[in-house]
């Protein structure tokens, strides 16, 4: 166990509490913070200048990897090997980002499966998880250098809207960087933790960063922090303010937008200059500078007019988030400003006006999330007893479905207590019993996960396969005790069992299961794909046989024989190991039989109607 030791002037003081650090893994900048003498601090780099590590990774000619300020400078000269904004890609599939592909200066590739995106750098492919791990490693070495000891335990923040895949990806990145990630925390929750002590009630966290805008409404009551609603724009942030300044300067230079693309170096130079101008205008009334022998000049007043539409867009999101939380601006008790872009005076003024109350801006807006993460870490370490945070379930809980597949009903990291349900059906005609096997773990096949128990829903009234509606409900209470309830909805048959999921799984075992799930992700995906294809094919074969026997009079000899041939081909492919050939056989059978099925349906409907003599 890591001990928290700090060097004081009069000697070394050691406590036995494990030191857990807080990390803000941002789209633009990342930071690490820790608690010293009960106060949170962000760690500065070796040069002692800034606490921010730009979230940029650069791959050099000779294979070195650079993270942070130096990497950010390479964006100009070597964009193809310099990765920024990787957070936008976390847990995303190629399809998810199709629309915004042009945004990235580097190469994003589709690895041909339904799976997550990869980024190509030279001849290697990196997942967003690996790239984020590189940023986290940089933060790890920063804090280790600062404290002179190995640090393992960390809390990492994510946007409140991150889904389970994105949260897991973040956790995995932490693990890959050598951290034991104790908790994934919502950024607005962290910000609220760092904000004024003892705030209660409805809190708005307005977070305008480099490339994204997030607005969240939290309800804080008796130390419980709950996110009521979130809204925002994943393509609105400081970069857009830079862009409007670039446009303004282009006019002063007598140049146009085409010059940015035809001369990329000029483009990057003017962009960096614009960012500097923007920051300066947060402090002074006028910005002046020469570029290429011409004078550039802009006043704060002009900048504010240009920035107005961007700010208005953030306020639209604020209106939406309030509507979703069913609150009015006047009901918000506290407004916390987060993100470097809230340093812009007009942003602060307009947000103050919107909520009709002074905003909290005592802390550095670009550090507040990391500071809050450190506080959260301190709570987890047991140093702050008065704050209660909702617990989460460490591993996914689910049931076994056909072919030994794990179907997660309550995903890992869900807040507890929680409840989730899903409907299933039978796969065999007249099936009377349904065995429900409950598993815990992250792997796609149940055989690799841990079985928690099983029970049988018996005496299901005989029905054709697919007709029964079996509702399986998982209820996980605050103590981590799981109750599984199964109910056949057509007959109202019900049974339930109580299962203790965490019983018997040690921290080490849990860690092993998680590592296992990362290392085997690829083979799991392949195995899952094959099993799913087989399951689908088997049910198509069943219905194909049924179709043939029920419609012998409607189909011609040739049609029946062709259908039979296609069915045989599908049967053969199912016994093989090739997912694609199963899919192809299925496709061929479907294409051929769909028009036949339509015709049969028409005939049957007509017959039925005549029978009823309408």
Active site residue 9: no
Is residue 211 within the footprint of ligand ADP (CB under 6 A)?
A: yes
Q: Which is nearer to ligand ADP, 138 or 239 (CB)?
A: 239
Is residue 210 within the footprint of ligand ADP (CB under 6 A)?
A: yes
Q: How far is the CB of 588 from Mg ion (least distance, A)?
A: 51
Build a one-symbol-per-residue string for 342-371: x at contacts with ligand ADP by CB under 6 A, - elsewhere. Answer: -xx---------------------x-----
| Interface region with ligand ADP, contact rule CB under 6 A, candidates 151-159, 339-347, 504-512, 567-575 | 339-347
Tell me the C-alpha distance between 447 and 520, whole Å: 13
Place of tokens 């509702």: 471
Q: How far is the CB of 147 from ligand ADP (least distance, A)?
A: 23
Binder of residue 340, out of ligand ADP, Mg ion, none (CB less than 5 to 8 A by kind): ligand ADP
Q: How far is the CB of 282 from ligand ADP (least distance, A)?
A: 4
Closest of 463, 452, 466, 470 to residue 406, by C-alpha = 452
Q: How far is the CB of 568 from ligand ADP (least distance, A)?
A: 58
**Annotated catalytic residue: which of 138, 146, 172, 207?**
207
Which residues share a beta bridge with 309? none
Interface pick for Mg ion out of 26, 54, 91, 501 (rule CB under 5 A): 26
Count of residues near Mg ion by CB under 5 A: 2
Q: Which is nearer to Mg ion, 158 or 273 (CB)?
A: 158
Binder of residue 341, out of Mg ion, ligand ADP, none (CB less than 5 to 8 A by kind): ligand ADP
Q: How far is the CB of 211 from ligand ADP (least distance, A)?
A: 6
Site for Mg ion, residues 561 to 600, rule: CB under 5 A? none
Is residue 159 within the footprint of Mg ion (CB under 5 A)?
A: no
Tell me the C-alpha distance between 443 and 527, whole Å: 11
Q: How far is the CB of 339 from Mg ion (least distance, A)?
A: 5
**Annotated catalytic residue: which of 130, 146, 172, 187?**
187
Site for Mg ion, residues 205 to 234, rule: CB under 5 A? 209
Measured in Å, how far apart are the chain's first and last C-alpha atoms?
A: 80
Strand 334-338 and strand 294-299: pairing?
unpaired
The pair of structure tokens assigned to 431 is 């099936």
**Annotated catalytic residue: which of 24, 233, 378, 442?**
24
Closest of 474, 475, 325, 478 to residue 390, by C-alpha = 478
Interface pick for ligand ADP out of 51, 81, 170, 212 (rule CB under 6 A): 212
Q: How far is the CB of 107 from Mg ion (least distance, A)?
A: 26
Q: How far is the CB of 430 from Mg ion (least distance, A)?
A: 57
- CA–CA–CA angle 2, 157, 500 (5° rounding): 70
CB 311 within 8 A of CB 347: yes
The pair of structure tokens assigned to 288 is 């002046």
3-state secondary structure of 453: strand
CA dist list (Å): 204 to 234, 351, 360: 18, 11, 10
Build a one-symbol-per-residue string for 239-278: x at contacts with ligand ADP by CB under 6 A, - elsewhere. Answer: x-----------------------------------x--x
Q: Which is nearer to ligand ADP, 21 or 368 (CB)?
A: 368
CB 449 within 8 A of CB 513: yes
CB 65 within 8 A of CB 137: no
Active site residue 187: yes
- For every residue of 49-95, DSSP letters joined together read S-S-EES-EEE-TTS-EEESHHHHHHHHH-GGGEE--GGGGTT-BHH
| Interface region with ligand ADP, contact rule CB under 6 A, candidates 324-332, 337-345, 413-421, 563-571 | 337-345
Closest of 419, 376, 423, 378 to residue 397, by C-alpha = 419
| Interface region with Mg ion, contact rule CB under 5 A, candidates 25-33, 387-395, 508-516, 592-600 | 25-33
Angle between helices 264-281 and 238-253 (to 10 degrees): 110
Is residue 282 within the footprint of ligand ADP (CB under 6 A)?
A: yes
Q: Which is nearer to ligand ADP, 235 or 592 (CB)?
A: 235
Tell me the C-alpha distance between 332 and 218, whole Å: 10
Residues 6+ apart with CB under 8 A from 335: 203, 204, 205, 206, 351, 352, 355, 357, 358, 359, 360
Strand 180-186 and strand 153-158: pairing?
parallel
**Annotated catalytic residue: which of 87, 140, 175, 348?**
87
Active site residue 87: yes
CA dist list (Å): 152 to 1, 19, 180: 9, 8, 6
Tell me the C-alpha distance between 137 and 130, whole Å: 10
Active site residue 64: no
Which residues share a beta bridge with 23? 32, 156
Interface pick for ligand ADP out of 188, 232, 340, 394 (rule CB under 6 A): 340
Is residue 300 within the footprint of ligand ADP (CB under 6 A)?
A: no
Tell me the C-alpha distance between 16 and 382, whole Å: 11
Q: How far is the CB of 346 from ligand ADP (least distance, A)?
A: 10
Build a one-symbol-per-residue string for 25-54: x at contacts with ligand ADP by CB under 6 A, - elsewhere. Answer: -xxxx-------------------------
Which of the residues are catalytic?
Answer: 24, 87, 187, 207
Residues that bind Mg ion (CB under 5 A): 26, 209
Q: What residues line the site for ligand ADP (CB under 6 A)?
A: 26-29, 209-212, 237-239, 275, 278-279, 282, 339-341, 343-344, 366
């Amino acid at each position: 166990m890591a001990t928290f030791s700090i060097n004081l002037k009069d000697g070394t003081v050691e406590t036995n509490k494990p030191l857990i650090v807080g990390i803000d893994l941002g789209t633009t900048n990342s930071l690490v913070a820790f608690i010293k003498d009960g106060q949170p601090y962000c760690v500065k780099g070796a040069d002692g200048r800034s606490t921010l590590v730009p979230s940029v990774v650069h791959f050099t000619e000779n294979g070195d990897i650079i993270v942070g300020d130096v990497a950010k400078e390479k964006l100009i000269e070597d964009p193809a090997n310099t990765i920024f904004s990787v957070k936008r890609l976390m847990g995303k599939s190629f399809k998810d980002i199709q629309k915004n592909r042009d945004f990235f200066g580097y190469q994003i590739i589709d690895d041909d499966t339904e799976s997550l995106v990869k980024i190509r750098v030279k001849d290697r492919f990196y997942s967003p998880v690996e790239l984020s791990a590189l940023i986290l490693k940089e933060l790890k070495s920063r804090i280790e250098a600062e404290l002179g000891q190995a640090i393992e335990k960390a809390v990492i923040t994510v946007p409140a809207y991150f889904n389970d895949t994105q949260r897991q990806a973040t956790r995995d990145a932490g693990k890959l960087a050598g951290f034991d990630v104790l908790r994934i925390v919502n950024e607005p929750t962290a910000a609220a933790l760092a904000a004024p002590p003892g705030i209660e009630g409805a809190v708005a966290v307005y977070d305008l960063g480099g490339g994204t805008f997030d607005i969240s409404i939290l309800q804080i009551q008796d130390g419980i922090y709950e996110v009521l609603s979130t809204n925002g724009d994943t393509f609105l942030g400081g970069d857009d303010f830079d862009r409007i300044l670039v446009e303004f300067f282009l006019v002063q230079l007598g140049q146009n937008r085409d010059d940015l693309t035809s001369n990329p170096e000029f483009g990057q130079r003017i962009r960096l200059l614009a960012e500097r101008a923007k920051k300066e205008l947060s402090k002074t009334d006028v910005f002046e500078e020469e570029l290429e022998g011409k004078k550039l000049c802009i006043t704060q007043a002009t900048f504010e007019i240009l920035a107005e539409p961007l700010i208005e867009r953030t306020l639209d999101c604020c209106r939406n988030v309030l509507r979703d939380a069913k609150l009015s601006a006047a009901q918000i008790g506290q407004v916390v400003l987060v993100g470097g872009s809230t340093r812009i005076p007009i942003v602060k003024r307009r947000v103050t006006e919107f909520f009709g109350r002074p905003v909290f801006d005592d802390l550095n807006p670009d550090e507040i999330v990391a500071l809050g993460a450190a506080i959260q870490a301190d709570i987890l370490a047991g140093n702050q007893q008065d704050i209660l945070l909702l617990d989460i379930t460490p591993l996914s809980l689910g049931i076994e479905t056909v072919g030994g597949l794990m179907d997660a009903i309550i995903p890992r990291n869900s807040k507890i207590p929680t409840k989730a349900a899903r409907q299933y059906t039978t796969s065999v005609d007249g099936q009377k019993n349904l065995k429900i096997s409950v598993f815990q773990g992250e792997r796609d096949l149940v055989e690799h996960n841990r079985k928690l128990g099983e029970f049988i829903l018996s005496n299901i009234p005989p029905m054709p396969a697919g007709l029964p509606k079996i509702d399986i409900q998982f209820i996980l209470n605050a103590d981590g005790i799981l109750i599984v309830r199964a109910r056949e909805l057509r007959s109202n048959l019900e049974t339930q069992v109580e299962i203790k999921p965490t019983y018997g799984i040690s921290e080490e075992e849990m860690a092993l299961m998680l590592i296992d799930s990362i290392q085997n992700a690829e083979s799991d995906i392949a195995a899952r794909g094959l099993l799913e294809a087989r399951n689908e094919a088997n049910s198509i074969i069943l219905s194909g046989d049924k179709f043939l026997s029920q419609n012998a009079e409607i189909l011609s000899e040739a049609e029946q024989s062709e259908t039979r041939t296609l069915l045989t081909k599908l049967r053969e492919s199912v016994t093989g190991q090739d997912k694609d050939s199963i899919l192809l056989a299925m496709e061929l059978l479907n294409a051929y039989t769909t028009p036949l099925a339509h015709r049969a349906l028409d005939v049957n409907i007509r017959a039925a109607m005549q029978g009823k003599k309408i």
